[in-house]
Structure formats: structure tokens, C-alpha cells
């Protein structure tokens, strides 16, 4: 009985239906209705129906709430926080406890999107048991619904161990940022045969989706055609089943490094600087606070 209800709900509500209803309610200024949360099977259903998936990163409650209200399908608590939140040169120093802390904050802001938490460097490479224990912490303590880890064939055993415990795994192939020292920087990856083999290996190991980062578009299209799980592209062209970007990159908040594949959808960094300059001017001139901001 319970199973039948879930199935019938899935049939009547597609991801794009949810997006349309969500964005129109926000456009009308109405409070967003409580929508059915996006779940892992919805990602697979979206791929079957040809609905493109949207995923963005968030690291805190406020941004997670904004992304969720705007109707994004998935929110990744990415270890990119090492760069855009902590100001490091790469993500390698991020710890599992930090990821749990940020995941908890993100989950509090989300009502609808699927929350996926990144597994940081050296929290899944030692052996499958280590990977399973740490994935379990991201779900139990952080509240994530799925985890993401980098690598293809070499992480297949970890993916298998995690998925066998019913924790959904999003894989990540191509330019995997935790391999930055081996790659010699954030470089486009062009070894088509190896990357395709990696993608096939993570699907066979049980991943429900795979991020394909910074590879030629033709290769991403070939991976998408070969796999039956959704491909989520970043710097991988338009033929993937969905797209992901690092949010501070695409809204112009993080300017230290901007790869070619990032489109600026807003320039919030400029707006914030202008707002802070105006605040500073008004405080110094005595025009803020005005009488309307005072308690009598």
C-alpha cells in the first residue's frame, strides 16, 4: 500500500512540473508551497524522460534556502568550500568534520532539493570499510541524502561498499580536483578511453549519477550515450543529462579563479562591494541610521 502511494506520486509529479510550480509561486510573491522532496529515483527518472537536471553547490543555511526556493534539483555540499569558503588554493585540506558541519547547516535550509555531501580527500581512499564508515557519518550526523566521491575504477570498490549499505553515491570522473597534484593543476582531461572506462566502472559499482568535469564535449556526449545513469556536467558541454556549477563562481562572488566553463549569471560581488561602500559613506556622514531605524 505504502509502495503504491509513493509510485503514484512519482508518476504525477515530474521534476519540471515542480520547477514550474515553484518558480511561478516565487514570481507571484507568494510563499513557496511545500513540494515533494526530490529523491534519488527522481534523478534516474529525469534522465529517462529527458529532463535536464540542475545542481549547484551550497555551504550554509542562507544559500541553501535560496537555491532550494529557486527550484534547483540537487544541492552539493562540495569540498570546493576549501577554496570558496576557507580561501585555500585547493580542496585537499578539507576534513570530514568540516563537511559534516557544513552539511548540517545546508540541510536546515532545504525543503525540496536532494542534498549530496562531498567526501573529502583521504576519507574514502584507504579501504572500502573506511569509505563506508565516513559516508555513514555524512548521512547520520550531517543529514545528507547521498554522498559524492571522486575517481573511477580505483574507487569502484568504495562505491560498491557504500551503495550496498543503501547510501546513494554520486561519482565524479574526468578532472577530479582532489587529483590536482597528479594532473599538475586544474586542467582539461583528454584521455577518452580511460575516462569512459572510469564512468562505466562507477555505474557498475552502483553510483546513481556521475559528475563529469572538464572533459571535451564529444567525450561527455559519448559517456552520456553509454551510461544509463544521469551525467552531470561541469565544463563538459551541453550533452550531459544535467549541469552543476560552484555557486559563488556563477553569481560572481568568488573571483580568485574563473574557469572558461563558468558563465556569470549575476555579479553579486560588485553589488556587495557597492552596498558596503554606501553603508560606509552613510555611517560616516551620519545619514544612517535615520529616524525610521530608531526605537522610541
The SS3 assignment for 37 reads coil
**Cell matching residue 220:** 561527455
Q: How far is the CB of 145 from ligand KIV (least distance, A)?
A: 17
**Cell matching residue 16:** 519540471
In three-state form (DSSP H/G/I as H, E/B as E, the rest C), the secondary structure along 49-64 is HCCCEEEEECCCHHHH
Q: How far is the CB of 210 from ligand KIV (least distance, A)?
A: 11
Q: How far is the CB of 284 from ligand KIV (least distance, A)?
A: 39
Q: Indicate the residue among 102 and 172 with the shorter CB distance to ligand KIV.
A: 172
State the binding string over 246-265 for ligand KIV (x if CB under 6 A, else -).
Answer: x-------------------
Which of 133, 213, 218, 294 is flagged as catalytic? 213
Q: Indicate the residue among 22 and 137 with the shorter CB distance to ligand KIV.
A: 137
- Interaction between residue 118 and ligand KIV (CB under 6 A): yes
Question: In degrees, to the nearest 5, what angle opens at C-alpha 18 toward C-alphas 231 and 234?
Answer: 25
Q: How far is the CB of 86 from ligand KIV (least distance, A)?
A: 12
Interface region with ligand KIV, contact rule CB under 6 A, candidates 43-51, 71-79, 139-147, 275-283: 71-79
Q: How far is Cα 32 from Cα 21, in angstroms, rounded to an integer?
A: 9
- Interaction between residue 72 and ligand KIV (CB under 6 A): no
Contact 177, 80 (CB under 8 A): yes
Contact 149, 206 (CB under 8 A): no
- Interaction between residue 57 and ligand KIV (CB under 6 A): yes
- Interaction between residue 78 and ligand KIV (CB under 6 A): yes
Sole residue written with cell 550531517:
142
Sole residue written with cell 506520486:
9
- Interaction between residue 103 and ligand KIV (CB under 6 A): no
Interface region with ligand KIV, contact rule CB under 6 A, candidates 7-15, 31-39, 76-84, 270-278: 76-84
- Does 98 qualify as catalytic in the annotation? no
Determine the residue with CB nearest ligand KIV: 78
Q: How many residues sit close enough to ligand KIV to count as binding (CB under 6 A)? A: 11
Tell me: cis bond preceding 56? Omega within 30 of 0 counts.
Answer: no
The SS3 assignment for 241 reads coil
Q: How far is Cα 88 from Cα 98, in angstroms, rounded to an integer?
A: 14
In three-state form (DSSP H/G/I as H, E/B as E, the rest C), the secondary structure along 123-178 is CCCCCHHHHHHHHHHHHHHHCCCEEECCECHHHHHHHHHHHHCCCCEEEEEECCHH
- Interaction between residue 178 and ligand KIV (CB under 6 A): no
Q: How far is the CB of 87 from ligand KIV (least distance, A)?
A: 15
Q: Indicate the residue among 15 and 234 with the shorter CB distance to ligand KIV.
A: 234
- Interaction between residue 211 and ligand KIV (CB under 6 A): yes
- Interaction between residue 243 and ligand KIV (CB under 6 A): no
- Interaction between residue 119 and ligand KIV (CB under 6 A): no
Which CA distances in Å does 20 have to 8, 16, 71? 20, 6, 8
Q: Indicate the residue among 22 and 145 with the shorter CB distance to ligand KIV.
A: 145
The SS3 assignment for 14 reads coil
Q: Which residues of 14-30 are buried (b: 16+ CB within 10 A; e: fewer)?
A: ebeebbeebeebeeeee
**Interface ranges with ligand KIV (CB under 6 A):** 57, 76, 78-80, 118, 172, 211, 234, 244, 246
- So which residues are the catalytic ones? 213
Amino acid at each position: 500500500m505504502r509502495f503504491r502511494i509513493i509510485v503514484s506520486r512519482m508518476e504525477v509529479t515530474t521534476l519540471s512540473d515542480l520547477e514550474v510550480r515553484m518558480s511561478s509561486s516565487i514570481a507571484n510573491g507568494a510563499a513557496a508551497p511545500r513540494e515533494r522532496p526530490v529523491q534519488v529515483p527522481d534523478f534516474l527518472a529525469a534522465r529517462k524522460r529527458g529532463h535536464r537536471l540542475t545542481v549547484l553547490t551550497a555551504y550554509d543555511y542562507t544559500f541553501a534556502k535560496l537555491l532550494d526556493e529557486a527550484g534547483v534539483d540537487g544541492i552539493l555540499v562540495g569540498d570546493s568550500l576549501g577554496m570558496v569558503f576557507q580561501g585555500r588554493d585547493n580542496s585537499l585540506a578539507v576534513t570530514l568534520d568540516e563537511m559534516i558541519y557544513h552539511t548540517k547547516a545546508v540541510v536546515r535550509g532545504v525543503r525540496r532539493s536532494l542534498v549530496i555531501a562531498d567526501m573529502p580527500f583521504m576519507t574514502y581512499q584507504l579501504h572500502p570499510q573506511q569509505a563506508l564508515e565516513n559516508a555513514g557519518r555524512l548521512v547520520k550526523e550531517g543529514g545528507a541524502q547521498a554522498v559524492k566521491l571522486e575517481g573511477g575504477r580505483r574507487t569502484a570498490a568504495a562505491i560498491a561498499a557504500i551503495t550496498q549499505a543503501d547510501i546513494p553515491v554520486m561519482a565524479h570522473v574526468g578532472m577530479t580536483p582532489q587529483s590536482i597534484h597528479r594532473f599538475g593543476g586544474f586542467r582539461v582531461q583528454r584521455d577518452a578511453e580511460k575516462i569512459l572506462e572510469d564512468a562505466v566502472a562507477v555505474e557498475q559499482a552502483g553510483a546513481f549519477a556521475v559528475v563529469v568535469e572538464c572533459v571535451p564535449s564529444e567525450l561527455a556526449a559519448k559517456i552520456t550515450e553509454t551510461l544509463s545513469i544521469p551525467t552531470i556536467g561541469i565544463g563538459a558541454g551541453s550533452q550531459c543529462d544535467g549541469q552543476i556549477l560552484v555557486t559563488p563562481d556563477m553569481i560572481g562572488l568568488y573571483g580568485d579563479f574563473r574557469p572558461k566553463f563558468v558563465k556569470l549569471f549575476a555579479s553579486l560581488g560588485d553589488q556587495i562591494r557597492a552596498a558596503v561602500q554606501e553603508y560606509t559613506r552613510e555611517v560616516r556622514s551620519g545619514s544612517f541610521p535615520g529616524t525610521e531605524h530608531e526605537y522610541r
